[in-house]
């Protein structure tokens, strides 16, 4: 019963209420101030990310900090190309509404981070990945979400950019071809805080009732 280590913390109602606030005020941020993160902050957030669960303790997460202006420009160009293609698939009112959305803060965000999953890792000896190899990718998502929450608790916003061609991003960033892009992230201080998603405020989509997502068997 864990007699040798530190005592297990007890999380009280006050903490749980603040944790609930954190879930409610975490946003996908696309509007950043230009000021940089404090030195060491990004590395600290990545350290928290690595506390995420991973299938078989495989730790398949690979964090690529993108500082090179040329590579950043390549990512921005890829986003703009993919975004133009996406916009072209909407018609009528939806097309105009899509065009009005701000879907990434790649130009303003002081920090760019690409996160990959290495399904080929031998760490963890393949445990838990035999019938569901995608578990490696899911492990990386839990790491990302850990740092996203920790960032918000520091007043730092993260934005997840998925309007990208993953194969092109791997080339632009010169990473092994078998790494899978899980997400490309902007980090920085947000221009504003909010407790509702920007897409909801923009009228793109609405939150659905929780009961609609629960099924019983």
What span, in angstroms and rounded, lies between the C-alpha atoms of 206 and 163? 21
- Which CA distances in Å does 124 have to 47, 50, 134? 19, 15, 14
The residue among 62 and 105 lying less far from a second copy, judged by its C-beta, is 62
What span, in angstroms and rounded, lies between the C-alpha atoms of 32 and 182? 22
Q: How far is the CB of 16 from a second copy (least distance, A)?
A: 5
Q: How far is the CB of 107 from a second copy (least distance, A)?
A: 18
What span, in angstroms and rounded, lies between the C-alpha atoms of 81 and 79? 5
Q: How far is the CB of 72 from a second copy (least distance, A)?
A: 9
Site for a second copy, residues 47 to 106, rule: CB under 8 A = 47-48, 50-53, 55-59, 61-68, 71, 82, 85-86, 89-90, 94, 98, 101, 103
Q: How far is the CB of 126 from a second copy (least distance, A)?
A: 8
Q: Which of 111, 129, 157, 188 binds a second copy (CB under 8 A)?
A: 129
What span, in angstroms and rounded, lies between the C-alpha atoms of 72 and 76? 6
For 42-73, b/e burial (b = at least 16 CB within 10 A) is: beebbebbeebebbbebbbbbbbebeeeebbe
Q: Which of 39, 40, 177, 217 binds a second copy (CB under 8 A)?
A: 217
What span, in angstroms and rounded, lies between the C-alpha atoms of 180 and 172? 14
Binding mask 156-195 vs a second copy (x if CB under 8 A, - otherwise)? ----x-xxxxx------xxx-----xxx-------xxxxx
Q: Which of 76, 108, 119, 145 binds a second copy (CB under 8 A)?
A: 145
Q: How far is the CB of 209 from a second copy (least distance, A)?
A: 9
Enter the tokens of residue 196: 């509702």
Site for a second copy, residues 10 to 39, rule: CB under 8 A = 10-11, 15-16, 18-26, 28
What span, in angstroms and rounded, lies between the C-alpha atoms of 103 and 33? 16
Q: Which of 105, 124, 157, 188 binds a second copy (CB under 8 A)?
A: 124
């Amino acid at each position: 019963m864990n007699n040798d280590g530190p005592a297990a913390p007890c999380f009280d109602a006050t903490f749980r209420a603040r944790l609930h606030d954190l879930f409610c005020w975490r946003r996908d941020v696309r509007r950043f101030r230009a000021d940089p993160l404090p030195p060491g902050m990004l590395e600290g957030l990545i350290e928290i990310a690595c506390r995420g669960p991973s299938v078989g303790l495989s730790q398949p997460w690979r964090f690529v900090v993108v500082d090179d202006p040329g590579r950043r420009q390549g990512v921005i160009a890829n986003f703009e190309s993919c975004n133009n293609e996406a916009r072209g698939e909407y018609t009528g009112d939806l097309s105009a509404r899509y065009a009005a959305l701000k879907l990434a803060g790649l130009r303003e965000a002081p920090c760019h981070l690409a996160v990959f999953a290495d399904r080929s890792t031998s760490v963890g000896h393949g445990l838990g990945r035999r019938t569901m190899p995608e578990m490696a990718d899911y492990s990386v998502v839990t790491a990302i979400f850990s740092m996203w929450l920790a960032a918000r608790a520091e007043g730092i916003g993260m934005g997840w950019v998925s309007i990208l061609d993953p194969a092109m991003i791997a080339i632009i960033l010169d990473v092994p071809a078998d790494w899978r892009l899980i997400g490309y992230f902007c980090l920085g201080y947000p221009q504003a805080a909010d407790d509702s998603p920007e897409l909801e405020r923009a009228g793109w989509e609405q939150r659905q009732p929780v009961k609609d997502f629960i099924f019983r068997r």
